C-alpha cells in the first residue's frame, strides 16, 4: 500500500509524485483517445481501431497493442485514475464531491464528543450496546468497536452489512457513559442507507478503484486494464523510438 500511494518515500514528496504522475497520465489518456477516435467511421477505420493483427510485423503489432488495447481500457483507466486522485489531492476530492452532490461542500470527518456530566456514573456496558445493535441489524456480517481512550471520546461502531464490503457500512457513535447515539459529520458518518447519493459514491470510492464493486468480475477487469495501462508507456516508447529512427535514416539518405 505504501509503495502504491507514496513509492515508500517519506513525507509528502512520494504522495505528490504519485498524484502528479496520475494527472499527467490522465492528460495523456485523454489526448490519446482524441488521436484514437476515427475521423470517419467506416469498415476500414473500425477494423484498424478495434482489432489486433496478431500475425502482423512487430512494429504493426506493437502499434495495435498500444492503440487498440489502450482504446478498450481507456474508460476503466480513467475511472481508476480519477478515484485514485481523490486520495492524492484535497482540491480534487472537494471538486469531485461538489460535482456529484450538485454543488454541496464536502464536510470534514469529525467525531462527536461524549457528554462529561455523567462521568461519575461510569462507562456504560458494551454488552448492552452490542445487544441493541444486533437487534437493529441481525444480518450484519461484522461489528467493529473502537473504544474511547479519553473522557470526552465516544464509542465508535462500524456495522458491516456485507462481508468484504467497505461502503455498505454504518459508522455510528455513542456516548460512552449513557450510550446515547451521537451525530458525526462527513461522508462516512452515519448509516449507509441514510447517506446522500454523493456520500454513498464517496464511500464506494475504494471499491470502485479496485473493482470490488462488481465482485470478482470487476476485479478481473481492473487487473487486466491495469496491465494494459502499465504496457502503454512501453509500447508508446517503442512507437516513438521507431519513428525517431526512421526520421534519422531519412535525413541521412537525403
Burial group, residue 46, by CB count within 10 angstroms (0-12, 13-18, 19+): exposed
DSSP 194: G
pTM for the whole structure: 0.84
Q: What is the mean pLDDT of residues 148-177?
A: 92
Strand-by-strand arrangement of the 169-174 sheet: 142-146, 155-160, 169-174, 181-182
- Nearest C-alpha neighbor of 36 from the set 247, 232, 219: 232
* Gap between the terminal Cα atoms of the chain: 53
Q: Which residues contact 236 (CB under 8 A, 6 or more apart)?
A: 66
Q: What is the mean pLDDT of residues 61-73?
A: 89
Mean pLDDT of the chain, nearest integer:
90
Amino acid at each position: 500500500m505504501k509503495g502504491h500511494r507514496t513509492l515508500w518515500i517519506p513525507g509528502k514528496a512520494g504522495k505528490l509524485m504519485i498524484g502528479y504522475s496520475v494527472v499527467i497520465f490522465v492528460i495523456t489518456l485523454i489526448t490519446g483517445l482524441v488521436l484514437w477516435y476515427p475521423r470517419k467511421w467506416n469498415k476500414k477505420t473500425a477494423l484498424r481501431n478495434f482489432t489486433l493483427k496478431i500475425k502482423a510485423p512487430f512494429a504493426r503489432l506493437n502499434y495495435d497493442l498500444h492503440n487498440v488495447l489502450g482504446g478498450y481500457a481507456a474508460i476503466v483507466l480513467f475511472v481508476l485514475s480519477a478515484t485514485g486522485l481523490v486520495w492524492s489531492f484535497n482540491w480534487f476530492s472537494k471538486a469531485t464531491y461538489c460535482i456529484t452532490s450538485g454543488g454541496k461542500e464536502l464536510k470534514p470527518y469529525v467525531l462527536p464528543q461524549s457528554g462529561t456530566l455523567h462521568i461519575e456514573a461510569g462507562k456504560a456496558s458494551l454488552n448492552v450496546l452490542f445487544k441493541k445493535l444486533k437487534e437493529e441489524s441481525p444480518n450484519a456480517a461484522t461489528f467493529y468497536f473502537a473504544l474511547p481512550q479519553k473522557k470526552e471520546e465516544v464509542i465508535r461502531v462500524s456495522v458491516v452489512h456485507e462481508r468484504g464490503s467497505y461502503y455498505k457500512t454504518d459508522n455510528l457513535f455513542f456516548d460512552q457513559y449513557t450510550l446515547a447515539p451521537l451525530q458525526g459529520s462527513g461522508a462516512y458518518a452515519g448509516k449507509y442507507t441514510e447517506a446522500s447519493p454523493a456520500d454513498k459514491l464517496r464511500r464506494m470510492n475504494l471499491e470502485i478503484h479496485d473493482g470490488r464493486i462488481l465482485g470478482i468480475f470487476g476485479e478481473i477487469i481492473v487487473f487486466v486494464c491495469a496491465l494494459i495501462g502499465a504496457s502503454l508507456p512501453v509500447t508508446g516508447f517503442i512507437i516513438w523510438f521507431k519513428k525517431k529512427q526512421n526520421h534519422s535514416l531519412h535525413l541521412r539518405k537525403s
